[in-house]
Each structure stands twice: as structure tokens, then as C-alpha cells.
Structure 1
Amino acid sequence: MTSSPDYPEKDRPVEAWCDLHELHVRLSDGRHVSTPLWWYPRLLNATPAQRNNVRLMLNGVHWPDVDEDLSVDGMLNGRKARGAVAPSVAAE
């Protein structure tokens, strides 16, 4: 696999998983990126089985059961999904 100017090889995901509160992605250069699940309402509302059905892509991660695609670039740059509401705001 070769990298391109638009997508550096070092940012390729090699593993992805969710726990109860965060999405975790390990990159090919060894970095581990974690973002809050509330950033991605589809994943937050998914069942554990749906979250565990994950497919790695060249530049991101795909969850076929909930039709969610997230880019590594978006995670690294703190981009949340539209409609994402922080838990403290949602509780008010």
C-alpha cells in the first residue's frame, strides 16, 4: 500500500474499538487516538454488537450496521458529527 500527498501512511488505522464512553483507533505508526462516543450520536446509540462490527478503511473506520464512516483526519482534528451534544448539555 502506498501513501499519497492527501493521505499519509502513518495515519492509516490498524485497529478500532469502542468502550462504553470512547472510540479508540490505533494508527499504523503506533499512535492511539481516542474520542468521546458522544461526538458520534449513531455510535453512541448503537448496541455493543453494532459497535463491534467495524471495518477499517484506508483513511478511516466504517460501521456497516449503523451506516457510520469516520475519518482519521476528522478524529485527529476534533470534528464532531452534526447534532452531537455533550452529556452535561443534554442533561440540562
Structure 2
Amino acid sequence: MSSTASNNLITNVPAIKVWVENRMIYLELSDGRILGFPADRFKLLKAASNSQLQEVRLELKGYALRWENLDEDLTVQGILEGKFQLPLKTST
């Protein structure tokens, strides 16, 4: 499989559902995949309260996440590509 073909596997896949549990943000994608990432991977989300994190909604027909109260937007594509602002916290 060429790299172009493999890149197409994750392109243009909207989310149909988003939810937050224990500071983890989960997405259900239109192709059936469910993925999650820690809120602490993004600066504004790391500083947000649990109740602020809960106020996420899907925008742009499922291609973006929006926290209006935090003025934060993330693209589903960026999340799929692992484009996080902060490194994953490892236990020591």
C-alpha cells in the first residue's frame, strides 16, 4: 500500500459523537472507530475544569471539536494524525 493510499484512510472521516470521561476526550467516528486522548495533551484543555471540558460539541459536520467557553477548536484530522501540543505524560 502506498503512503498516499494509507493517508486517505484517515482523511475526511467525521466524528458522529464526542464525550468526556475522567479528563479523556472520546470520539466516535463515522467509520465505527472510537478513539480517545487525554485533555492534558492541549494547553487550554489541560487548564480547563472538568465541567468546562464537558461543554464540547461537534462543529463543521463532525470535522471539528469546539469548546465555546474556552475558545478552543480542534480538528478531527489533527487528532487522528496525533498533532498534540503537549507530550504524553509518562509515569515515573
Report the TM-score when normalising by structure 2.
Answer: 0.72
**Equivalent in 67, 71, 74 of residue 71 of structure 2:** 67
Corresponding residue for residue 38 of structure 2: 36
The number of aligned residues is: 81
Give deviations 1:6-34, integer Å, cap 9, x for gaps.
x62xx111111222242111111211121
Task: Give the aligned partner of residue 87 of structure 1.
Answer: 89
CA contact (8 A) 2:24 2:39 kept: yes
Q: Hey, what does 2:28 align to over in structure 1? A: 26
Unaligned runs of 5+ in 1: 1-6
Partner-residue secondary structure (3-state), 2:22: coil
C-alpha separation in 2, matches of 1:42 and 1:20: 16
Greater share of helix residues, 1 or 2? 2
Indicate the residue corresponding to 1:4 in structure 2.
none
> What 5-or-longer segments of structure 2 have no aligned partner?
1-10
Identity %: 28
Give distance in 2, aligned partners of 1:18 and 1:44: 13
Equivalent residue, structure 2, for 1:3: none
Report how far residue 71 of structure 1 moved. Answer: 0.6
Instruction: Answer whether contact 1:16 1:56 (CA < 8 A) is retained.
Output: yes
CA RMSD of aligned residues (A): 2.3
